[in-house]
Chain A
């Protein structure tokens, strides 16, 4: 009596053609590092609060200055969905895919969103330990995905 499709289906990824980046001066360093497969997160130089996504002010002390801190990309799944229905016809070959909100270790719980990869649908759960895998979508454009560890 359940409509959940076969949950051992391997997870897929949304098509690379769908991914368009439009960085501004505050987010560009993140994507430049990403293209080099490095995960960097901005931290306030006044109060040490992480801000994410990168932006012009600290949400805690309103200072502007940041330092870019590199992290290895370990985290745990905070929540997720498994997308079974392609909302556009061109997504028909890309389901199921699983966008996950991941709490990044050693960042005061900055959450980084990415699709889960290299796993069946049933493997995704809240609390799952994951590691970052950069997905190269085209030249100089890489985006975060998450693989169970």
Chain B
């Protein structure tokens, strides 16, 4: 038994997206509630229908008690968090589907609410504010083997993976630029996007280097905001306001020795310069009884542009090591590429709400209401991570 096509996403909702700190004086709880109410309204449901919460990372601070009490959810029957960080973005919807298929809950909200006014994800492993101050994450015995080298930010750490990929496969900064520029092109047409100015190759190469080989435009945005998604059983979905979007498959996890990945750096050589998604992708396709050739649009978690390349490989859209030439050939461009990628502008140019905007865009693509609509899109791939274990993904399809 699997959860294939047994549940559907019936509602999506979001707050406006803000540059870091600009969502104040709203609170993070308030943003979460606004996105949830918007998603329920989109579905034609209300708080009275909700009985499950499926989160990931530090959504709601890892605790749903205050949220349930504040919104007045009648009875919570399922509350769980996919472990890890941003790698759980897509997988939190899979968790919702699992709750429903198992009979533990009937209407499950997955969401992320993010405010970075006082804590920047981009410096997750650094002292807060100044040297010698309190750490964003307290130093751990394992972190002691990384942080004294000055590796203190996810972007610096993923730069190490990107450099290895360049060494092994000849990948070039021009390939990173194509990810950043094609994503920006998609964002230009979207009112919700925070970065709508065109980005040229010249501007890309003129930008300041942050952590070689990653320059400013290889980094995602730093944002505030919230996005919520409502999942119910597929048969119930038929009667609701929106065309249902079926959860065809979900998978999460990864190679055990992928482990802490970027805060460890001792992953097996065969997967070091990967996204960590490879085994997850295989299980996802097996559950869906589909392959990469069935995917019409891909929403790849894009905290750093090279990580889109590595996911193209791990999800089988090109051979391992060949993602650079694949993007150089225009394959990820909307609308004419063979696989339009991040049609919403992604984490790089629309907003960084730790990947939940990708789920929202997949739903809009499959409803046929996306701003940058892929003609006739029937199947969408959504991923969370690269990150430490787990990474996660979803295959969604129009009924």
Contacts and interface: CB of A to CB of B under 8 A. Distances in A.
Contacts of B144: 21-23, 27, 31, 53
A90 B211 contact: no
A14 B205 contact: no
A39 to B, nearest CB: 12
Counting chain B CB atoms within 10 Å of each CB, which of A2, A85, A110, A112 scores highest?
A85
B84 interface: no
A57 interface: no
A149 interface: no
A81 B131 contact: no
Contacts of B273: 79
B164 interface: yes
A17 B144 CA distance: 14
A84 B209 contact: yes
A58 interface: no
A113 B214 CA distance: 19
Nearest to B142: A53
B151 A113 contact: yes
A95 B266 CA distance: 25
A22 to B, nearest CB: 5
Interface stretch (B121-129, B230-238, B339-347): B121-129
Nearest to B208: A3
A27 B144 CA distance: 9
Contacts of B132: 17-18, 90
Interface string A94-113: 10010111000000011111
Contact of B145 (A18, A80, A113): A113
A120 B202 CA distance: 27
Interface string A66-88: 00000000000011111111011
Interface string B119-141: 00011001101111001001111
A130 to B, nearest CB: 13
Interface string B143-174: 11111111111001101110110010000000
A18 B266 contact: no
B66 interface: no
Given A4-B209, A90-B131, A20 B149 contact: no
B118 to A, nearest CB: 15
Contact of B160 (A4, A79, A88, A97): A79
A81 B163 contact: yes
Nearest to A19: B148
B265 interface: yes
Given A3-B209, A113-B149, A115-B150, A101 B269 contact: no
Contacts of A13: 150
A94 to B, nearest CB: 7
A24 B167 CA distance: 35
Interface string A36-74: 000000000000000011010001000000000000000
A61 to B, nearest CB: 14
Given A1-B205, A99-B151, A114-B149, A82 B130 contact: no
B257 interface: yes
A145 to B, nearest CB: 8
A132 interface: no
B123 A3 contact: no
B271 interface: no
A3 B203 CA distance: 10
B139 A82 contact: no
Counting chain B CB atoms within 10 Å of each CB, which of A2, A79, A100, A137 scores highest?
A79
Contacts of B140: 22
B1 interface: no
Contact of A110 (B147, B211, B266): B266
A71 B60 CA distance: 46
Contacts of B209: 3-5, 82, 84-85
Contacts of B214: 81
Given A84-B210, A85-B209, A113-B149, A99 B160 contact: yes
Contacts of B114: none
Top 4 A-B residue pairs of the complex, sorted by shortest distance between their CB atoms: A14-B150, A81-B159, A79-B164, A99-B149
Interface of B: 122-123, 126-127, 129-132, 135, 138-153, 156-157, 159-161, 163-164, 167, 202, 205-215, 257, 264-266, 269, 272-273
Given A17-B131, A22-B138, A52-B266, 9 more contacts: A18-B150, A19-B147, A79-B160, A79-B163, A81-B213, A87-B123, A111-B265, A113-B145, A114-B148
